[in-house]
């Protein structure tokens, strides 16, 4: 199924399975889009409407992105040791020696 | 003082939304996909919200102390003023979309005009509702194209659904003596004037959906006078059950 992410995919239609789309919502202007979840839809336009109906019913956002799930390239959990662990002992990369003013949000 | 013309008109507006909202709620838990289930329920809830406002206005115009709940749950079938289109059974998903397509495109044009109503409440409700309905029309229009230009099965189902619903579309553009005074005073919209733009919108979507305009047939009308199909009685039986069994129950 992951190969089929367009409406023209006769295989997906034949199996009555719609492709999966990842949904990203911008909560308000100035913030970045954040992953909210996923929806099934036959094509990009319908994915946007399904995302609107599924994830923005309670004023969650001002902008939506949908991306075919199949277009996302993910890191291999098995590579976690070499990808992420080397950062563990490099405390000097954290800006923890600064005091962040209380009125600064979203950092 | 009772304003019977406004009572009648507000009931028409409210009943259209109420009955269609109730119909759409029947899909809850039964739609083909979770996403579709949510979108139909959203549309239904928007409509029931509109009905609440319009029926509240109706109760105030009538001046007999009936509120929106009394009007929704304690009226019998002959007193409902909705158009026949909205009480038609859901059928399959394609038939539901055909009904929504015809209705929402009309309702959006109607509400756009009612934003200019000389009655402040009608105008305020219309201004809120017109945004909701613009989305309903958009959703229905997109589905029309997906189903009409989809598989042989989806197309067949949509053609059949549209053929059934089409006969109820002329009623949307009626204006009768009961509301003429309201049209004259700028409270109501003359629905006859909405037809040309509706025809253009419908034609554009049908073209994208690769569908023919259904054959004209003798229009089925009567809803505005309370002459309904048998379907409405069954719908009310379910919708009003609790209030009939336990009048004025609260929870």
- Considering only the beta carbons, identify the residue of B35, B139, B151 that sits closest to A41: B35
Residue A21 falls within a domain, yes or no? yes
pLDDT band at A12 (very low <50, low <70, confident <90, very high): very low
Residue A99 lies in a domain: no
User: Band of the pLDDT at B157, cuts 50, 70, 90?
Assistant: very high
DSSP code of residue A100: P
Single out the residue of B61, B46, B45 nearest to residue B7, CA to CA: B61
Chain A residue numbers touching B151 (CB-CB < 8 A): 13
- Residue from the list A46, A53, A54 with its beta carbon closest to the beta carbon of B146: A46
Q: What is the mean pLDDT of residues B101-110?
A: 98
What is the pLDDT at residue B2? 80
Judge whether A107 lies within some domain.
Answer: no
B18 vs A: CB within 8 A: no
Q: Residue A88 maps to which CATH number? A: 3.10.20.520
Nearest Cα of chain B lies from the Cα of A60 at a distance, in angstroms, of: 15
| Contact between B142 and A50 using a beta-carbon 8 Å cutoff | no
Instruction: Give a yes or no: residue B59 inside a domain.
Output: yes
Nearest CA in chain A to B144: A46
DSSP of B134-148: HHHHHHHHHHHHHHH
Residue of chain B minimizing CA distance to A47 = B35
Which residue from A minimizes the CA distance to B143? A46
When pLDDT is averaged across residues A61-87 and rounded to a whole number, the result is: 93
Interface test with B, best of A23, A41, A53, A59 (most B CBs within 10 A): A53
Q: Which domain holds residue B64?
A: 4-245
Evaluate whether residue B141 is within a structural domain.
yes
Copy the structure tokens of residue B203: 């034609």
Token couple for A107: 């950092």
Q: Give a yes or no: residue B31 inside a domain.
A: yes
Q: Is the pLDDT of residue B229 over 90?
A: yes
Domain-located, residue A50: yes
For B9-22, the pLDDT digits (tens) are 999 999 999 999 99
Helices (H), A29-89: 44-55, 80-84
Rounded CA separation B124/B117 (Å): 9
- Residue B249 confidence (pLDDT): 84
pLDDT digits (tens, 9 = 90+) for A24-67: 999 999 999 999 999 999 999 999 999 999 999 898 999 999 99
Instruction: Kindly report whether the global pTM for this prediction surpasses the value 0.90.
Output: no
**pLDDT greater than 60 at residue A4:** no
Checking if the pLDDT of A8 tops 60, the result is: no
Burial A5-21 (b: 16+ CB within 10 A, else e): bebebeebbeeeebbbb
Closest-CA residue of chain B to A52: B39
Question: How many pairs of residues across A and B have Cβ atoms under 8 Å apart?
Answer: 31
Q: What is the mean pLDDT of chain A?
A: 84
Rg of chain A's alpha carbons, rounded to an integer?
Answer: 19
Domain for residue B61, yes or no? yes
The parent domain of residue A18 ranges over 10-93
- What would the mean pLDDT of B223-230 be, rounded to a whole number? 96
Local confidence band at B149 (pLDDT 50, 70, 90 cut-offs): very high
B227-231 long-range CB contacts below 8 Å, 24 or more apart?
A: B228/B77, B228/B78, B228/B80, B228/B82, B228/B84, B228/B87, B229/B84, B229/B87, B229/B88, B231/B87, B231/B88, B231/B89
Give chain B's domain count.
Answer: 1
B123 confidence band (pLDDT: 50, 70, 90): very high
Residue B145: count of CB within 10 angstroms of its CB: 18
pLDDT of the residue at A107: 67
Nearest to B50 by CA among B117, B132, B105: B132
B250 belongs to a structural domain: no
Which residues on B lie below 8 Å from A22 (Cβ)?
A: none
Q: Report the interhelical angle of B34-62 vs A44-55 (nearest 10°).
A: 60
């Amino acid at each position: 199924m992951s190969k089929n992410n367009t409406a023209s995919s006769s295989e997906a239609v034949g199996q009555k399975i719609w492709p999966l789309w990842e949904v990203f919502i911008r909560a308000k202007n100035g913030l970045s889009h954040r992953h909210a979840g996923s929806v099934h839809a036959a094509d990009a336009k319908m994915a946007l409407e399904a995302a609107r109906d599924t994830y923005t019913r309670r004023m969650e956002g001002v902008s939506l992105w949908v991306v075919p799930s199949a277009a996302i390239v993910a890191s291999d959990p098995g590579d976690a040791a070499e990808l992420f662990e080397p950062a563990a002992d490099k405390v000097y990369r954290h800006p923890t020696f600064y005091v962040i003013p209380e009125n600064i949000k979203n950092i | 003082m009772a304003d019977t013309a406004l009572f009648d008109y507000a009931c028409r507006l409210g009943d259209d939304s109420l009955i269609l909202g109730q119909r759409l709620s029947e899909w809850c838990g039964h739609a083909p996909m979770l996403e579709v289930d949510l979108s139909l329920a959203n549309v239904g809830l928007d409509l029931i919200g509109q009905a609440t406002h319009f029926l509240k206005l109706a109760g105030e115009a009538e001046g007999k102390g009936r509120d929106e709940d009394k009007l929704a749950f304690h009226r019998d079938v002959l007193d409902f003023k909705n158009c026949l289109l909205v009480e038609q059974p859901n059928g399959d998903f394609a038939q539901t979309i055909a009904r929504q397509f015809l209705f929402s495109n009309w309702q959006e044009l109607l509400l756009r005009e009612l934003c200019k109503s000389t009655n402040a409440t009608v105008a305020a409700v219309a201004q809120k509702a017109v945004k909701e309905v613009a989305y309903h029309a958009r959703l229905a229009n997109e589905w029309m194209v997906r189903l009409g230009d989809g598989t042989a099965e989806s197309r067949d189902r949509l053609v059949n659904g549209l053929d059934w619903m089409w006969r109820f579309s002329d009623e949307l553009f009626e204006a009768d003596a009961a509301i003429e005074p309201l049209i004259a005073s700028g409270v109501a919209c003359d629905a006859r004037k909405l037809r040309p733009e509706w025809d253009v919108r419908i034609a554009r979507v049908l073209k994208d959906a690769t569908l023919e305009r259904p054959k004209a047939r003798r229009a089925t009308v009567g809803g505005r006078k309370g002459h309904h199909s048998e379907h409405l009685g069954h719908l009310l039986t379910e919708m009003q059950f609790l209030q009939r069994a336990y009048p004025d129950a609260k929870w």
